[in-house]
Chains A and B, each alone.
Chain A
């Protein structure tokens, strides 16, 4: 097999992994601060994907351009969902949080099924079939655009959490809940905002992923599982870990498909997950919980 195929597949896997990373970053942000495991994460992403399709089909709006506005819509939805429904469950046992979010996930899947039907849907942008030819490399243009947008959004999130007063306040809530209350932070609002930011990540990622894959209502659970694999590999609660996990999973699946058999791709990503759980249970960039 020619050397360029390894390079082609590796680049393709890494670019797909970047978008997966952004999706998983949302899950990580929510868990890192609110300590709620969002079992409806993939389903929320399918909502974003369908919104992107509707906007494209009705108004001709490009999903890449709509990534930020859709992030805003999902932010609002996430905020309302957390403040109205999830917040009362924060202090309840974890299993009741799990059940609530699984119920939300099932409702989303079924509503999407009723509204859009079971057929696979996608968007056909003018650049849907474009690719860049760089020497021996043929790189899918949509993956490049989606990957670049992911890097920009991730960088913006990093800056927000590191330098913005609101970002610092959210981190304060994550570090010390009681301390945050003592210094007068509105923790309830910050929790809802964090959930909203996590949902915004999903909104942006969904808007870009719709360029790469067809969406069906049943895609949600598969994406939720994928997000879990990525954040556990990268480190639950770490945003950089989520992006790294996405890259690793994307790369591993691509190379496993090339070296072994494509139908065993998932086996290798789960294998990687098992290795991480065995040798670094907190994930590659995760902090060990005291």
Chain B
């Protein structure tokens, strides 16, 4: 039986095995390229904190996603198939969602607003070899790990601080005075801690007119910030320097009013104070704070197009950092796909590495990445809330309004 069976089976010789293996290898190599050649929309997994403590900002970033298709069409860029995922404002959930998106076929990832969540996603993307374009996250280590698949079109914490100090000096000069003592209130998450760590090293280099009398860290999910504001007030500081999120920015403002303290200025170096939810929740009490943040150049052609599209889609809302940088992250993805003409992760990553978009939105010369995957040419602006609008007050070259200085007392509004 065994002998018969052996005789009936096709014999595998060394020669046929080698030929077969070679053919299989060739098929795999060519078939791989065929399968990944540009044939449909690029599957882009967009990870954002759509629920949890950062839900408001995550939803705001999503608006930047929603307005892309129409604009990309006019720019002649390929269509993107967006796969949405919610990080739930949780680092571990962000990691798990990134893995799931990749398993579900995402060919490129975008996200995730928060440095902690972004760090986790970057690890997954690098491990799986899937390009990851960061929309918003400022912690420097993310692009210091030698990752090959991680790209950031957003300034790092030291870049934000450097520009913030330069713009603050312009504002103080335009306002005719500046604070001598400031108290620094900051969130204790990855972003806030990065900013707080960078501050002491950078401050002396800019010869600022003020000293930081105390730094107060707090939990971004805190329900009550009365102690924090009371402590800040007790330092006798002239102004408040803050790195916050959205809900805590609202809580801080409420406490400033309740505790009858109007500092000379609220100088924010992060999100929260320019968000539409902040403006709508507090109404006229939202006027005055200055945000020194990555922003957009209103004179750029694409900025005008984006503003028009945003205004049409979300009337009554202001275009802000969340929309701009989420839009630009997708712009990087579409541009890379357009040039790579492939969904092969390596080809996409190579294309992103050689990005050179000068027709963009954000302040600065455009979008290019250095060897670490960081766009190091981005610039920030100084924004002031006034009458529910966001006006650019610094730098002078991008300003469309003069600063209103100092902060109008809360009880006289």
Contact B231 A138 (CB under 8 A): no
Contact A257 B258 (CB under 8 A): no
**Residues of chain A contacted by B226 (CB below 8 angstroms):** 9, 12, 16, 140, 254
A61 within 8 A of B: no
Contact A258 B230 (CB under 8 A): yes
B219 within 8 A of A: yes
Contact A138 B258 (CB under 8 A): yes
**Residues of chain B contacted by A266 (CB below 8 angstroms):** 219
- Tier of interface size on chain B: 35 or more
Interchain CB contact (< 8 A) of A113 among B51, B257, B285, B410: B51
Contact A263:B51 (CB < 8 A) given known A5-B230, A131-B258: no
Contact B227 A257 (CB under 8 A): yes
Distance in Å: Cβ of A212 to nearest Cβ of chain B:
7
Contact B217 A262 (CB under 8 A): yes
B281 within 8 A of A: yes
B198 within 8 A of A: no
What separation, in Å, do the CA atoms of A141 and B226 have in the docked complex? 13
Interchain CB contact (< 8 A) of B231 among A5, A128, A217: A5
What separation, in Å, do the CA atoms of A23 and B274 have in the docked complex? 35
Contact A263:B260 (CB < 8 A) given known A12-B230, A258-B227: no
What separation, in Å, do the CA atoms of A216 and B222 have in the docked complex? 12
Which residue on B lies nearest to A1, using beta carbons? B234
B223 within 8 A of A: yes
B52 within 8 A of A: yes
Q: Which of A62-78 contact B (CB under 8 A)?
A: none
Contact A261 B51 (CB under 8 A): no
Contact B247 A254 (CB under 8 A): no
Interchain CB contact (< 8 A) of A262 among B56, B231, B233, B410: B231
What separation, in Å, do the CA atoms of A258 and B231 have in the docked complex? 6
Contact A118 B258 (CB under 8 A): no
Distance in Å: Cβ of B360 to nearest Cβ of chain A:
30
A82 within 8 A of B: no
User: Chain B's interface: helix, strand, loop or mixed, by majority?
Assistant: helix
What separation, in Å, do the CA atoms of A18 and B246 have in the docked complex? 27
Contact A263 B52 (CB under 8 A): no
Contact A119 B231 (CB under 8 A): no
**Residues of chain A contacted by B217 (CB below 8 angstroms):** 261-263
**Residues of chain B contacted by A130 (CB below 8 angstroms):** 258
Interchain CB contact (< 8 A) of A119 among B230, B254, B277: B277
**Residues of chain A contacted by B56 (CB below 8 angstroms):** 118-120
Distance in Å: Cβ of A275 to nearest Cβ of chain B:
21
What separation, in Å, do the CA atoms of A162 and B59 have in the docked complex? 51
**Residues of chain B contacted by A120 (CB below 8 angstroms):** 55-56, 246-247, 250, 277
A38 within 8 A of B: no
Contact A263 B224 (CB under 8 A): no
Q: Which of B226-261 contact A (CB under 8 A)?
A: 226-228, 230-231, 233-234, 246-247, 250-251, 254, 257-260
Contact A262:B51 (CB < 8 A) given known A120-B56, A138-B259, A213-B223: no
A-B residue pairs, 7 tightest by C-beta: A118-B55, A257-B227, A118-B51, A213-B223, A263-B188, A5-B234, A129-B257
Q: Can you add 17 more A-B contacts, CB < 8 Å, to A5-B230, A9-B226, A214-B251?
A: A9-B231, A12-B226, A12-B227, A118-B51, A120-B277, A128-B254, A129-B285, A138-B260, A214-B223, A216-B55, A218-B51, A218-B52, A219-B223, A222-B221, A261-B217, A262-B227, A265-B219
What residues make up the interface of B, taking CB atoms closer than 8 Å to A? Answer: 50-53, 55-56, 58-59, 188, 216-219, 221-228, 230-231, 233-234, 246-247, 250-251, 254, 257-260, 277, 281, 285, 410
25 CB contacts below 8 A, A to B, read: A1-B234, A5-B231, A5-B233, A5-B234, A9-B231, A12-B226, A12-B227, A12-B230, A13-B227, A119-B277, A120-B250, A120-B277, A129-B254, A141-B258, A213-B224, A216-B52, A218-B51, A219-B223, A262-B217, A262-B218, A262-B219, A262-B227, A263-B217, A265-B219, A266-B219
